Chain A
């Protein structure tokens, strides 16, 4: 009985979470604009969606910004983590607090403050300002993802590599970075997701005709219900579902890989140091 009740409860929660989305998707196939009356199955809204240059441009902008911002944030953040870990306590804590600010601050304050910065400095609002804003709020998440991994890394491998003649940079690349990879990838994915989904910060830091997907949806939604938005939702839903399944599969297999690696480090320390070059195959 308890099990049944539990299942029913979870089902209700899921129903609550999915009902609106399902309605959206179903009505994206409705012949007419009406969301009360079903007038027949039709793909017309999808057709209109693919010929709507405004939406397509927004999609392009969204993906481009997300990609560039996440890459820059990942690089910036990873190197930042490498430097931060060497800091003295006081500096470390100051930097940590400042890094946490974009994370804890409400989006609207981040967005508005950046807008004022751009106006103050004289940067015209547009693609570049939006990109700078995205990099700003993504980098802290990279640092947060990489730092814990950095604490766990075995620094003696790095030192040993240098003892064996590797340049610091080479040693860094071959010994530390691979150990950080899970954190770096998490940071990258997190940045990408946050950037794609962002609305508020983009809203305040962009200008002219540069709009990302969320902004287009907002301005369309302000005009009333528009089945093209429904079509966008349906496509987004399918994409997200596919992505989640892929990520989940990857998590499971990488978990196996990491536990295997840890075992190796423990038992075959010297073998690892000697075979640094061979790690390239991985």
Chain B
């Protein structure tokens, strides 16, 4: 009996140590799920000899909770714009020495100096996109150019909304003519009520599943991110994507280095690596999302580089803005969204 206990205990201890023992240099990366071409990681490891531990998260909030409360440490993380703003405010990030990242100059200016990181000190853009309406041309007879159509009773139970607090609130706020970053309680309440009004027409509040459902014709209209739209459109030709005329959200996921990162130089190398044209093309092809450098975009196939969903015109982009983070407003948004889902 004692022998068994000892063996067991040592097995348990061994197992927990196994992960840590290694002589090689290690880089701990935390990114969204299915948001990279895994071959890129292999290439990086080969070229630099650095071992990459690649972990994934599903939402910004998930990632934030794990990083702030869970005492987990990463060298490189890929949050979204508003979350980066929050992390900067809460002193969770360190400034990036851009001189160690020569490829930074390849990034198009339109992605720089955005409100979440106005001086480009803490982040390097990775992939970006917009939010819009994906619809099935054969199932929707009206013109789709406004958020109003999602409140049209004709399409009751054929509408999908995002199970995402900020994206859904954004739709309602913009439809009402307000800013998607408002901190005004009355405006937030109005948006909340609008969404509650819409609920009987909504088939479901989905995230990743929505792409599959639209391809399978379960719904006629859905609020999606541009990358999902590009993917869905390639699987079903009846689908089209539009950024409503009232405006919408544009988002950027960028690379940041947490304050408690253990291997900053490896992180910088990885960032620089990701900005290479060939690597950008690989990631674009694998994820379907839009890359940030014109020189890389030019390498994509024609159908793609001319796809307005993936690469909207300046005019379209001009009606979109980024999410901003505000601590008090977040509580208000949380409350409002809970009211909508629990209704």
Q: CB within 8 Å of B: which residues of A?
A: 34, 36, 64, 68, 71-72, 75, 119, 122, 124-125, 127-128, 131, 169, 173, 207-209, 219, 222-225
Residue with the greatest number of chain B CB neighbours at <10 A, chosen from A36, A131, A169, A224 = A224
Stretch of B1-9, B142-150, B240-248, B279-287 with 4 or more beta carbons under 8 angstroms from chain A: B1-9
Tell me, yes or no, whether B341 is within 8 Å of chain A by CB. Answer: no
- State in angstroms the CA–CA spacing of A208 and B53 once bound together: 10
Which chain B positions have C-beta within 8 A of A64? 15
B319 on interface, CB distance cutoff 8 Å: no
A125 touches B15 (CB 8 A): no
Q: Smallest Cβ distance from B56 to chain A, in angstroms?
A: 7
B208 in contact with A127 (CB, 8 Å) = no
Q: Judge whether A72 and B8 touch: CB under 8 Å.
A: yes
B11 at the interface (CB under 8 A from A): yes
12 cross-chain CB contacts under 8 A: A36-B216, A68-B11, A71-B8, A72-B8, A75-B1, A122-B71, A125-B70, A127-B15, A169-B1, A223-B208, A223-B212, A224-B209
The answer on a CB contact under 8 Å between B70 and A207 is yes
- A64, A173, A209 — which one has the most chain B CB atoms within 10 A of its CB? A209
Interface assignment of B66: CB less than 8 Å from any CB of chain A? yes
Are the C-beta atoms of A127 and B19 separated by less than 8 Å? yes
Known: A207-B70, A208-B55, A225-B212; 11 extra A-B contacts, CB below 8 A, are A36-B216, A75-B4, A119-B71, A124-B70, A124-B71, A127-B16, A169-B1, A207-B72, A209-B53, A219-B33, A224-B211
Q: How far is the CA of A75 from the CA of B11 in the complex (A)?
A: 15
Residue numbers in B under 8 Å from A209 (CB-CB): 53-56
Q: Return B225 CB to nearest CB of chain A, in Å.
A: 14
Tell me, in angstroms, the Cα distance from A139 to B15 when the chains sit together.
21
Question: Do A208 and B12 touch across chains, with their CB atoms under 8 A apart?
Answer: no
- B72's partner among A124, A169, A224 (CB-CB below 8 A) is A124
In the bound complex, what is the Cα–Cα distance between A71 and B69 (angstroms)?
A: 31
Q: Which B62-100 residues have a C-beta within 8 angstroms of A?
A: 66, 69-72
Of chain B, the residue at the smallest CB distance from A173 is B1
Do the beta carbons of A75 and B5 come within 8 Å of each other? yes
Task: Enumerate chain A residues within 8 angstroms of B208, measured Cβ to Cβ.
Answer: 222-224
A101: shortest Cβ distance to chain B, in Å?
Answer: 24
In Å, the complex CA distance between A112 and B1 comes to 34
